[in-house]
Chain A
Amino acid sequence: MLFNSLDFLVFFFIILCLIAYFKYRQFQHLLIIFSSIFFLYYTDSYLVTLLIFTILLHFYIGKAIYNSQTKFKKKIFFIIGIIGSVGILGIFKYTDFVITQFNVFGVMINLNSEIPMLNLALPIGISFYTFQSMSYIIDIYRGSLKPSKTLKEYAFFVAFFLPLVAGPILRASNFLPQLREKINQQETTQKLKLFVINNQNLKFGITLMALGFFKKMFIADNIGPLVNDIFSNPIGMESFSIIIGTIAFGIQLYCDFSGYSDIAIGGAAILGFKIPLNFNKPFFATSPSDFWTRWHISLSTWVRDYLYYPLVFKNRKSNSIVFISLLISMILMGIWHGASWNFLIWGGIHGLFLACYTLLRKKYPNASSNKFFKSKFGKISSILVTQYLIFFTFIAFWMRDFEHMIYAMKKYVFLDFAFEKTIDIMSANEFPILIIILFVILHIFSYKKGNIPERISKLKIHYWIGILFMFFLPVAIFYLGSAREFIYFQF
């Protein structure tokens, strides 16, 4: 069930009506759990069983870890839980990739047999809900979280349909208290929260959802054809065509993914939940490390907290350990996106950028307080250099064909200053180019003005309707004719 389909709007509307009408917390919570399971069942058929299995496994493992008296027992349960999560993810997402590599290696050493592929369907949202579940048991193992006391509460946290298939990845420590009635006394009360749809949340949620639809259906979907035109066969393209394709893809990916996150966060806000931001104007990042505090924040903080920090913990002063830890963390983050070499390369390049930046900062700790970097020109230069590097990595994110990727990267770095074909491409794609210009203007505006959705939601109702109208109209009249899948659904 795509967020940008009629099915979802009907589904969400029915849930809202039921929640508004039946004001019994038991009913409301069960409704959300069962409708979340139905949501995934409707989208992914029998593969919903994996979600149910994940919920049961991690709930009981979490309890077992917490109740274990010895460190050894805790460790055993923890390892079982991690093997369970990584195992499910590995089998469904990476087995065929590994088999392919074995077969390629077999051909290289003249082995005359091939391991047959499993051809398993990739369960939708699996990377998101397994990471969510893993963070839950890791936090319990570390002693920073008490396990959920009821299965219902835990099932709600993992299966909640809004962030289920493409994030943001929730943290139990952040979400579970919101489920309970008295946040400050969460340990003394077991009562679950009654959902009350209040005006401010409703207005804010609708605004954010409308903005999400606008980003996805108007901006991302309409830029897509330009990206496909350039990236599907880049061989022979000029440097400026590749740069336009890269900029277009970066914007498409951002609007597609942050559009999904906005719809999820907005929907959750209507129900009274605060889901953390997943994007914060990433195209204004002034360094690679700043970029990762603004792009897919829920994943980057997950990788930081559960992968990078443990790797680097005892050897923070060693440059080589920092370098290798960053590289490993980012490569794994790349592979998280998909079982393909291009994601590994994408993660590797980001790791390299981050590692170099971190080491440079270590060597020149006072550089950021330098006059130049504090000036407006310095800041703009930092943004431009950072974005040049970040957009370079998007080539690897899109292109699975190695020859195409290398060609495009070369053209991106070594400019050929040819324009003839670029002008042809631009004139054949006037509409996507106009949308890119519009996006840049809106992005700068939102950067200067701060939290736009919140400001809009606080407007008087007639102004608010006007803004909603401005979001909905382009979505409707520039609709492509069928709902396009979100890019992050495949992860």
Chain B
Amino acid sequence: MNYKILFSVLLTITIVSVIFGTSMSFYINIYDPEWYGLFSNNNSNENLNKRIFLIGSSSVYPINSTYVNHQFSLNKINYEIFNLADMSDSPKKRLQSLSNIISNKPNIVIYGLNIHHFKNYSQNEISFYDQILYPKKIFTNLFDDSIQQSIRDSIPGSPKDRIIFTLKYLLFGPEPHHHPFIKFYETSITPMDELETGFNTDFKFQEYRFSEDHEQIISLKKLIKEFKKNDIKLIIFSSPYQKTTANENDVKLFEKMLEKYSKQYDFPIYFLHEKYIGMNIWRDGIHVGINKDTLIFTKDILKILLEEMNSNAV
């Protein structure tokens, strides 16, 4: 075998991987609310409003920032909210774009935290039956959860969407200015009985861990400290789900953990994770639909923001 050929192929794969990795984290790190694109006429508009950055994963994406901004302007509140939710976001991933968030000087950061960020990735026991029938599970257990998780953390849900967004962002600015990272299109609401059928197939409780050494908790604490250090008011809420893979005990531990950090670092905390269970507003088990009939979630966030603005001047 010619090692020159093999080396060439490996070199090509390495270069492609480097370009891929760099381009994936590029967008979220260069995001600027004042950027309207190379070929746009809007770039002269200087906005004097104070900024609220809404961050979190796709589960907070349905929050309609246009609606919130409209309410702000109706009530003459000098704020503008940007929904910076990003697919598959987690505290660890968000840490990578922290400096960019801070450099854009938001006055408030409202953070939707998902219980699913705190899964325990230590290897699960696979039954003998499963080992024999589904050999793939052994490999998934060996490699996927441990090794690939760290790779997965740095890759967005859809690299294709990310690269197209990046190109569009550079050329024409973010497509929806207040929802820059995920394509904003209306989604239908899945009927409850269909959702239940979906849950019943392949539903399995997972293991969660809320100890101080969990990498997501370490990252979360770093985020909290950095916001505090930079005088950015932080509000945390638990993002909603219709059904979770966490059992009741883990949900309680999740609440306790947030309460603990809320006291320790002095930030307000709101629990929304079980608030909408049973309501007809879901796209799937962990995503509220993007729809005019699901505004309840957006309205609750608006209420939280108004409450916090009234309770202490920000």
Q: CB within 8 Å of B: which residues of A? A: 1, 6-7, 16, 20, 38, 41-42, 45-46, 197, 199, 202-203, 206, 222, 431, 461, 464-465, 468-469, 472-473, 476-481
Q: Which residues from chain B contact A16 at a C-beta distance below 8 Å? A: 1
Interface string of B1-30 (1 = CB under 8 A from A): 110111011011101110110010000000
A469–B1 CB distance below 8 A: no
Q: Who on chain B is nearest to A431 by CB?
A: B164
B159–A476 CB distance below 8 A: yes
A7–B164 CB distance below 8 A: no
What is the distance, in angstroms, from A294's C-beta to the closest C-beta of chain B?
30
A481–B5 CB distance below 8 A: no
A-B contact pairs, 25 of them (CB 8 A): A16-B1, A42-B135, A45-B133, A45-B135, A46-B133, A199-B2, A202-B2, A202-B5, A431-B164, A461-B4, A461-B5, A465-B11, A468-B9, A469-B16, A472-B12, A472-B16, A473-B19, A476-B17, A477-B23, A479-B159, A480-B159, A480-B160, A481-B156, A481-B157, A481-B160
Q: Which residues from chain B contact A199 at a C-beta distance below 8 Å? A: 2, 5
Among B15, B17, B134, B160, contact of A222 (Cβ-Cβ < 8 Å): B160
Q: Who on chain A is nearest to B162 by CB?
A: A477
Say yes or no for B305: interface residue by CB 8 A criterion.
no
Q: Complex: how many Å from CA A25 to CA B242?
A: 58
Q: Complex: how many Å from CA A222 to CA B133?
A: 33
Q: Who on chain A is nearest to B20 by CB?
A: A476
Of residues B8, B23, B148, which shows the largest number of chain A Cβ atoms within 10 Å of its Cβ? B8
A477–B5 CB distance below 8 A: no
Q: Which residues from chain B contact A477 at a C-beta distance below 8 Å? A: 19-20, 23, 159-160, 163
What is the distance, in angstroms, from A478's C-beta to the closest C-beta of chain B?
4
Say yes or no for B158: interface residue by CB 8 A criterion.
yes
What is the distance, in angstroms, from A230's C-beta to the closest C-beta of chain B?
17
What is the distance, in angstroms, from A127's C-beta to the closest C-beta of chain B?
23
Q: Complex: how many Å from CA A473 to CA B148?
A: 21
Tell me the B143-168 residues at the A interface (CB within 8 Å): 148, 156-160, 163-164
How many residues of B are in contact with the other chain, CB < 8 A?
A: 29
B8–A461 CB distance below 8 A: yes
Q: Who on chain B is nearest to A6 by CB?
A: B148
Instruction: Pick the 4 closest A-B CB pairs, nearest first.
Output: A481-B158, A478-B160, A476-B20, A199-B2
Q: Which residues from chain B contact A38 at a C-beta distance below 8 Å? A: 135
Q: Complex: how many Å from CA A218 to CA B157?
A: 17
Q: Which residues from chain B contact A46 at a C-beta distance below 8 Å? A: 133
Q: Who on chain B is nearest to A9 by CB?
A: B13
Q: Complex: how many Å from CA A20 to CA B159?
A: 35
- Given contacts A431-B164, A477-B19, is CB(A206)–CB(B133) below 8 Å? no
Q: Who on chain A is nearest to B16 by CB?
A: A472
Please name 19 further chain A to chain B contacts, defined as beta carbons within 8 Å, in addition to the given A476-B19, A479-B160, sorted by A numbering.
Answer: A16-B1, A42-B135, A431-B164, A461-B4, A465-B12, A468-B9, A469-B15, A472-B12, A472-B13, A473-B19, A476-B17, A477-B19, A477-B23, A477-B160, A477-B163, A478-B159, A478-B163, A479-B159, A481-B157
What is the distance, in angstroms, from B201's C-beta to the closest C-beta of chain A?
14
What is the distance, in angstroms, from B242's C-beta to the closest C-beta of chain A?
23
Q: Which residues from chain A contact B4 at a C-beta distance below 8 Å? A: 461
Q: Complex: how many Å from CA A473 to CA B5?
A: 18
